[in-house]
Amino acid sequence: MILLVDQDGCISDIENGFLSKWKEIYPDEFYVPVKQRTTHMIIDQYPLALRQKVKSIYHAPGFFLELKPMAGAVEALREMASLNLDVRICTSPLYHYQNCLVEKYKWVELYFGLEYTKKIILTQDKTIVRGNYLIDDSPYISGICLPEWEHILFDAPYNRGGDLKRLTWTNWKQVLSF
């Protein structure tokens, strides 16, 4: 069985990482608490006048590397691997990729080891990747192919509703029937 797992918002905590940096760099600016977010893309929650500041955080050196793991994510992926599941990190880099690409690899090496970097799949179109399941916090995955995988939604405040199965790192065994 092949499990594809999104990196940002599923195993790395981009939401709290962004908000922490935002409050540090722009302490007097408007912000949206994680629990009040209603859209998948953080930038879409902010007024047009603040979007360059949002991008400045994403694009800054160290942003992706400094993200903390989601609670239980590292342990869950290691346990999945111990069950002989083929777990792949299927992630979409930013178009402004200069820091993002390298830091995603370094992040995986930091938390899972160098060998695990061979299991990273970087793509803007996840529908072309083969697998049994895609665990992703985005409620909408589109692309040029009809995907082979079943989309399982990693639960987040901004993706509530719909009829997809929901997963957290505490209920993954029940959702995936393990």
Which residues are part of the catalytic machinery? 6, 8
Q: Is the dihedral of CA 35, 178, 1, 80 positive or negative?
A: positive
Tokens coding 137 = 């916090």
Nearest to 63 by CA among 107, 95, 117: 107
What is the C-alpha separation between 101 and 97, in angstroms, rounded?
6
Tokens coding 71 = 């609670």
* 8 A C-beta contact, residue 5 and residue 126: no
- Count of alpha carbons within 13 angstroms of residue 32, beta-carbon side: 20
What are the C-alpha distances in Å from 36 to residues 11, 19, 42, 71?
20, 12, 11, 19
- Per DSSP, the three-state class of 83 is coil
